[in-house]
Structure 1
Amino acid sequence: MKKLNKVGKFTLSMIILLFVIEATQLVTKRGSFDIDDFILNIVGALVGFGIWKTKIVQRLLN
């Protein structure tokens, strides 16, 4: 996680991870490749990243 400390690297890695998950759902026919899920998951990951980077959480982790 230390390498994903910047928002740009984090976002890129989440886009790749979520694309792989959505493509796997499409190939295995266990779900569908839904752009809404993709967008909402990216937004959720960025909100989580923002919370993780707050001073309160960082103080609790140290």
Structure 2
Amino acid sequence: MSKRELRNRTKNLAGNQPETSNACSHPSTDPRQNPMPILTNLGFPAPVLVIRTEGPEGGLFAFPIH
């Protein structure tokens, strides 16, 4: 078993999503390292309500708060 497979298996046992790419993530932009990601680069007005959903159809949804 490769180190990557072992790491993914360990993450699955811990309840986390397995890695899907070889790309290195900067800690400030990696959602696993930063639970409150900065959305200004995505063009959302501030403040926003952010809802994160899990699963195959999951995603990150942001709604402006007026």
Q: Which has the higher contact order (CA 8 A, sep 6+)?
A: 1
Flag the structure with larger Rg.
2
Structure having the larger proportion of residues in helix: 1
Normalising by structure 1, we get a TM-score of: 0.30
Normalising by structure 2, we get a TM-score of: 0.29
